[in-house]
Amino acid sequence: MNNKKFTLAQLAEFLSAKVQGDPNIEVTAIVPLQVASAGQISFLDNPKYRKFLAETNASAVILSEEMAEKCPCAALIVKNPYLAYAMTATLFDNKPVAKPGIHPTAIIGEHCEIDNSVAIGPNVVIGDYVKIGKNTVIQPGCIINHDVEIGANCWLWPNVTIYHGTRIGARTIIHSGAVIGSDGFGFAFHQGQYHKIPQIGIVRIGDDVEIGANTTIDRGALGDTIIGNGVKLDNQIQIGHNVEIGDHTVIAAGTGVAGSTKVGKYCRVGGLVGFAGHITITDQVTITAMASVAQSINEPGIYSSGVPAAPFSAWKRNMVRFQQLDSIARRLMQLERKFGEQEQEEESV
């Protein structure tokens, strides 16, 4: 249960914000504008939610200078309301506190190096030669295979599986059901059969990474699969073998990245995007949801593909016309040639 309470003055100091109204007002939670009540604080960043500001019942709102005069209650004025919201939310976070120590039901292999500050929960299984850094938390049911290294201040939620040889940097969060280091999809076809190619690389994960629930990251076939510093992966993402994700790239749920694809730094990828294998995406690329990326992208910018939802009758007409595009293009080229020949005849007269 969250019993935390802060005055606006305390929050203003924490956020480097300016207080508009009574600095002694106390708040006990941060909630959306449209459902906030007395004793709670909210925030306004997205213009779509401005309509809720005038009627909010919040005791205070985090917002920008330009919106301050329209706020009906006290306010914390900041340059970046969304960042200020994120920082405030950390104060009200009710994540369980883990106590250092190893639960008696945990199984620990031989020759492990586990810092005394590490918390290991019930039914965790850890293989041989595993190294775990300071203040890391391993929640119940996690499986960590042999020769894995996990940095300091990491948090593994229940039932995470880490295959052998994986390297994980500091301050990384891995959510439940994630599988790191499973075999990549590699087979050689010969005489009517597929023959498995051993996947002898590993997965290397940088610092400050977050990996969502049920996301899978395959180990490398020969080289390594690499997840850069500050990368954020949503739930149910598939990362193939030998993929490289550049620093501070974010990828939304349901996306699949086929083997040996390289995604640059500071890219933003929407949900359900599909990447072909063996392509390269440069830095600072945004790919919108449900796009199909079949070729390399060499220039920064925003890229999209796919057919947006439309009323069924309009979609059906458009699909029929789409199937006619090739014949229409051929007829157009014939007409262009015909008119071109006519123009040449007229000019020669």
Region 51-77: what's the mean pLDDT? 96
The answer as to whether 96 is a domain residue is: no
Whether 195 is a known active-site residue: answer: no
Is the same domain home to 267 and 293?
A: yes
- Given a contact cutoff of 8 angstroms between Cβ atoms, the answer to whether 135 and 153 are in contact is yes
Amino acid code (one letter) for 38: A
Per the domain annotation, does 42 fall within a domain? yes
- Please answer whether residues 41 and 58 qualify as being in contact, where contact means their C-beta atoms are separated by less than 8 angstroms: yes
Under the banding of pLDDT at 50, 70 and 90, the label for residue 349 is low
pLDDT in tens, 122-142: 999 999 999 999 999 999 999
Are residues 299 and 316 both part of a single domain?
no
Give the model's confidence band at 346: pLDDT under 50 very low, under 70 low, under 90 confident, else very high. Answer: low
Statement to judge: residues 163 and 291 lie in one domain: yes
Q: What are 263's two structure tokens? A: 């995604």
Work out the percent of the chain whose per-residue pLDDT is above 70. Answer: 98
Query: According to the model, what pLDDT value does residue 121 have?
Result: 98
Q: Which of 286, 303, 320 is the last residue in one of the domains?
A: 303
198 & 132 share domain: yes
Indicate the residue among 32, 58, 91 that finishes a domain. Answer: 91
Residues 167 and 45 in one domain: no
Regarding whether 195 and 270 lie in a shared domain, the answer is: yes
Q: How many domains does the structure of the chain reveal? A: 3
pLDDT, one tens digit per residue, over 257-289 is: 999 999 999 999 999 999 999 999 999 999 999
Domain assignment of residue 327, given as a range: 312-348
Are 292 and 210 within one domain? Answer: yes
Residue 34, Ramachandran bin (φ over 0: left; ψ between -120 and 50: alpha; else beta)? alpha
pLDDT-derived band at 85 (thresholds 50, 70, 90) equals: very high
Domain-embedded: residue 252: yes
Contacts of residue 329, defined as CB under 8 A and 6 or more positions apart, other chains included, come to: none
Q: Is 141 within a domain?
A: yes
Query: What are the CA-CA distances from residue 133 to residues 117, 127, 172 (Å)?
Result: 8, 16, 11
For residue 345, what pLDDT band results from cuts at 50, 70 and 90? low
- Across 239-243, 310-314, 336-340, the highest mean pLDDT is recorded for 239-243
Question: Are 135 and 178 within one domain?
Answer: yes
Residue 72, domain CATH: 3.40.1390.10
Give the C-alpha separation, 155 to 161, whole Å.
Answer: 13
Q: What is the pTM of this model?
A: 0.89
Same domain flag for 136 and 35: no
Domain shared by 33 and 175, yes or no: no
Strands (E), 103-234: 107-108, 113-114, 119-120, 125-126, 131-132, 137-138, 143-144, 149-150, 155-156, 161-162, 167-168, 173-174, 179-182, 187-190, 193-196, 203-205, 210-211, 216-218, 225-227, 232-233
DSSP class of 81: H
Q: Which of 125, 170, 135, 175 is nearest to 149 (CA)?
A: 170
Asked which of 91, 117, 139 is the last residue of a domain, the reply is 91
Q: Hey, what are 209's tokens?
A: 């990474």
The residue from 103, 164, 190, 241 that is catalytic is: 241
- Structure letter (DSSP) for residue 324: T
**pLDDT of res. 306:** 82
At residue 100, does pLDDT exceed 70? yes
Supply angle C-alpha 277, 282, 286, rounded to 5: 90
Average pLDDT over residues 143-161: 98
Question: Of all residues in the chain, what percent carry a pLDDT higher than 90?
Answer: 91
Same domain for 259 and 184: yes
Confidence of residue 342 (pLDDT cuts 50, 70, 90): confident
**What CATH number should be reported for the domain holding residue 286?**
2.160.10.10
- What is the average pLDDT across 87-112? 95
CB atoms within 10 A of CB 203: 25
Across 64-91, average pLDDT = 96
Q: How would DSSP label each residue in 276-314?
A: -SS-EE-SSEEE-TT-EE-S-B-S-EEE--S-----HHH
